[in-house]
Amino acid sequence: MSRPRAALRIQLDKPTARAVASGHPWVFRDVLEGLTRKPRSGEEVVLLDSVGAFLAQGIAGDAEGRGPGIRVLSRDERTPPLNKLLFRRIAAAHRLRERVVLPGTDVYRLLHGEGDELPGLVADRYGEVLVIRPDDLGMWTPHLNRVVEALRSEGPRGIRAIVLRTKDGEREVLWGEDGLDEVIVTEEGRRYLVRPGHGQKTGFFCDQRVNRTHLQGLVRDDDRTLNLFSYTGGFSVAMAVGGAAHVTSVDVSKSILDDLGRNLSLNGAKPAAHAQVTADAFEWTRQAKIDPVGIAVCDPPALARSKRDLEAAGRAYKGLHVGLASKIKKGGLLMTCSCTARFTEDDLLAAAFYGLKQGGRRVTRVLRRAEAGPDHPVPPGFPEGRYLSCLTLALD
Ligand code: SAH
């Protein structure tokens, strides 16, 4: 039986073809400029190399958007069309999570776009709720019904709702029960209240799971600790569960305060052992005077959205670390993070090193260099996919 062929065939110039052939999953938008017929958002296309040979099957980005023009779906000519492929790829993504996520943990990234060969498609699991939040919503909109069908058929058992989170923060129930607005999830023994589809990302930062567990194991009983940019307390809970004597959480947002407090009590942290500070963390680190802590965490939002922001991001990071220098005890530890591939691990290490130095402290050792956990897989040859850097540093 002959397979229906994607109608639009796009021949790539040599450098683009070489990049795709060596594993890069994107074709940038400018490559589409010369085409007589431009692909529709979400249309399946065939990519040809500069002599017209098959290179890959792809899917077109939002025609009105600014992301990649085409994303690679498969490098195999015999791959079935997307409506069939979705089932296979979602089943594979689910199998991988059953291997890399500990039993009992019901909060994780189920679909991680390019890393699961479903480019631009992201979905997180929060207990009985799945939240879809595509990187390119326009691209996936024509396929959403099928995505939901495939998730129901091949995804985790016991799901009661599938929710879409749009870029402007709207929440739409695509399938299942309305009203699962609040769920309690378990992450490697820690418990969190999550509002699936509300708040930051899809509700919670699943990408820091392995780093939270690492941090939890570093806490010793008499440690006072500090969590800058705490959000709902992902790391605060890890330090409390690790046995910290005291946790200070700093975040500018007032709306997270209730959930932060509830997350600490869910895990049995004594209220007196926790201070919640609503403040700009940049200003706070400059001005606040606290009893120096044994362990501090610094996990700001992406400070560099484009190349032009890099210098400013470097300065901002350095400033944070100048301030952190006086907040960490002699011989204390710092876990510091960047969540954009633009500001790399090396950029982060340099900003931390020089900032702390300016504050009178020396980084004596890098204890750990880490990224997101294995539920955020990255294809080889895709540096843009390595967006999270997390360094654990020991100070003098
Ligand atoms: N570490 C968290 C995630 C941090 S997300 C976790 O593991 O769950 C970044 C947080 O930084 C958000 O909660 C946002 O409200 C906060 N934020 C953004 N700008 C800030 C600022 N200038 N000062 C303090 N907090 C800020």
**Nearest residue by C-alpha to atom 6 in ligand 1:** 234
- Looking at residue 109, its pLDDT comes to 98
Give distance in angstroms: CA of 299 to centre of ligand 1.
7
Q: For the residues of 164-180, what is the DSSP string, one character each?
A: EE-TTS-EEEEEE-S--
CA dihedral 206, 342, 304, 123 (to 10 degrees): -30
Give distance in angstroms: CA of 51 to centre of ligand 1.
49
Q: What is the CATH code of the structural domain delimited by 82-188?
A: 3.30.750.80
Which numbered atom of ligand 1 lies nearest the CA of 297?
A: 1
Which numbered atom of ligand 1 lies nearest the CA of 256?
A: 13
205-395: CATH class: alpha beta
- Does the beta carbon of 271 lie inside 6 Å of ligand 1? no
Joined together, the tokens standing for residue 325 give 């220098």
Which numbered atom of ligand 1 lies nearest the CA of 208?
A: 7
Give distance in angstroms: CA of 346 to centre of ligand 1.
22
CATH superfamily of 8-74: PUA domain (2.30.130.10)
- Looking at residue 108, its pLDDT comes to 98
Pairing of strands 26-27, 8-11: unpaired
Q: Domain locations in the chain?
A: 8-74, 82-188, 205-395
C-alpha–C-alpha distance, residues 61 and 26, integer Å: 10
Give distance in angstroms: CA of 208 to centre of ligand 1.
13
Joined together, the tokens standing for residue 21 give 């052939």
Give distance in angstroms: CA of 227 to centre of ligand 1.
10
Q: CB 325: neighbour CB atoms within 10 A?
A: 19
pLDDT per residue as tens digits for the range 162-187: 999 987 888 999 999 998 999 999 99
- Does the beta carbon of 301 lie inside 6 Å of ligand 1? yes
- Looking at residue 5, its pLDDT comes to 53
pLDDT per residue as tens digits for the range 10-43: 999 999 999 999 999 999 999 899 899 999 999 9
Long-range Cβ pairs for the range 169-173 (8 Å, 24+): 171/197, 171/198
Residues of the chain with pLDDT under 50: 1-3, 6
Q: For the residues of 296-345, what is the DSSP string, one character each?
A: EEE-PPPS-SSGGGHHHHHHHHHHHHHHHHTTEEEEEEEEEEE--TTS-H
**Nearest residue by C-alpha to atom 12 in ligand 1:** 231
